[in-house]
Amino acid sequence: MTATTESEYLIISNKEKATELLSITEPTEANIIDAFIALHIILEVSLNTLFRHISMLSIKKDIDRLEIIKNIDAISFIDKTVLFIYDSKFNFTSIEDATHYHSTIGVLKDFSSIRNQLLHGHSISTISDEEGTRQSRLKKSLNDEALSGQIKKLLFVFEGLRFYVDCLESSLTTSGKAAFKKAYLDDTFIPDRYKR
């Protein structure tokens, strides 16, 4: 029997950071930037870890586990989500819900947009000249309304993937599914004011 331990520090620490940042009633631009980054880290690390664990359950080959992990980790979290939704076996409780949550794929791609702009150094600028005052596209996104929209996307992705995990046909027990959902798809760290 093989025992594996894995750090969940990035998920836990960024949930704490996000809770703190999202509790600020009048966030600064810096608070909003930090919140966008924390939310993205939570989502990406959670999904990568969830899908790595689910994938490992079905590996029946005598291959080094670290080699398998390395290969699984080379796939983006969005591609892992697509593969999970399309290639897993499910026993759907509702085809309408399965169809509704299929849009998780598009929401994930949209969710990544702001983080990508921030981490790739896109301009956060305001220019005032003879044409007036204009803001870069990213600067326009750094407000509470855009942050609320980002949170709604994260909540939808977690909700949809909890549905898919519940319907997953695998060796996972009901308590195993509950443990995965609690560890990787739990959204209780988001303050209630964003859940309305």
pLDDT tens sequence across 3-24: 666 789 999 999 999 999 999 9
Report whether pLDDT(60) > 80.
no
- Mean pLDDT score, 80-97: 94
Two structure tokens written together for 77: 């979290």
What does the pLDDT look like over 90-100, one tens digit per residue? 999 899 999 99
The pLDDT score that the predictor gives to residue 90 is 95
Pair 151, 42: CB distance under 8 Å: no
The answer, yes or no, to whether residue 32 has pLDDT greater than 70, is yes
Name the least confident of 61-65, 120-124, 183-187: 61-65
What is the C-alpha separation between 126 and 124, in angstroms, rounded? Answer: 7
Q: pLDDT band at 1, cuts 50/70/90?
A: low
pLDDT tens digits for range 119-170: 888 888 888 888 888 888 889 889 999 999 999 999 999 999 999 999 999 9
3-class SS of residue 191: coil
When pLDDT is averaged across residues 36-51 and rounded to a whole number, the result is 96
On whether the CB atoms of residues 118 and 138 are closer than 8 A, the answer is: yes
61-88: average pLDDT? 89
Across residues 70-90, what is the average pLDDT? 94
User: Under a CB-based contact definition with an 8 Å cutoff, are residues 117 and 138 in contact?
Assistant: yes
Distance in angstroms (rounded) separating the CA atoms of residues 17 and 148: 16
Mean pLDDT of the chain: 91
* pLDDT above 90 as % of the chain: 67
Task: Taking the CA atoms of 64, 65, 68 and 69 in sequence, report the sign of the dihedral they define.
Answer: negative
pLDDT of residue 63: 76
CA-nearest of 95, 102, 99, 67 to 81 is: 102
Going by C-beta distance under 8 Å and a sequence separation of 6 or more, which residues neighbour residue 78?
105, 108, 109, 112
